[in-house]
Amino acid sequence: MQDLKLSKRDEWEAMGFDLNNCPVRSVLDHVGAKWTVLILFELQNGAQRFNALGRALPDISKRMLTQTLRDLERDGMVKRQVFDTKPPSVAYSLTDMGQSLMTPLLGLVGWAEAQMPAVQTARKAYDEQAARL
Amino acid sequence: MQDLKLSKRDEWEAMGFDLNNCPVRSVLDHVGAKWTVLILFELQNGAQRFNALGRALPDISKRMLTQTLRDLERDGMVKRQVFDTKPPSVAYSLTDMGQSLMTPLLGLVGWAEAQMPAVQTARKAYDEQAARL
DNA sequence: GGTATAGGTCTCATATAGAGACCGAATTTG
DNA sequence: CAAATTCGGTCTCTATATGAGACCTATACC
**Which residue stretches of chain A are H helix?**
8-14, 23-32, 36-43, 50-56, 62-74, 96-131
In sequence order, the β-bridge partners of residue A94 are: A78
Q: What is the pTM of this model?
A: 0.85
Q: For B94-133, how does the pLDDT look when each residue is reduced to its tens digit (9 = 90+)? A: 999 999 999 999 999 899 989 999 999 999 999 998 887 6
Q: Residue A17: pLDDT band by 50, 70, 90 thresholds? A: low
Q: B-contacting residues of A 7-36, CB under 8 Å?
A: 7-9, 19, 23-29, 31-34
User: In chain B, which residue's Cα lies nearest the Cα of A54?
Assistant: B1
Cβ pairs A/B, distance under 8 A = 163
Cross-chain Cβ contact B107/A107 below 8 Å? yes
Cross-chain Cβ contact B111/A122 below 8 Å? no
Distance CA B25, CA B95 (A): 21
Of A17, A57, A25, give the one whose Cα is nearest residue A40.
A57
Q: For A80-104, how does the pLDDT look when each residue is reduced to its tens digit (9 = 90+)? A: 999 988 888 999 999 999 999 999 9
Rg (CA), chain B: 20
Of A37, A78, A129, give the one whose Cα is nearest residue B27.
A37
Using a 7 A cutoff on CB, list residues near strand C: A 2, 49-52, 62-63, 66, 80, 87-91; B 33-35, 59-64, 67, 86-87
Q: Domains along chain B? A: 8-131 (1.10.10.10)
Distance CA B103, CA B34 (A): 19
Distance CA B125, CA A8 (A): 34
Which amino acid appears at position B48 of this protein?
A: Q
DSSP class of residue B97 equals H
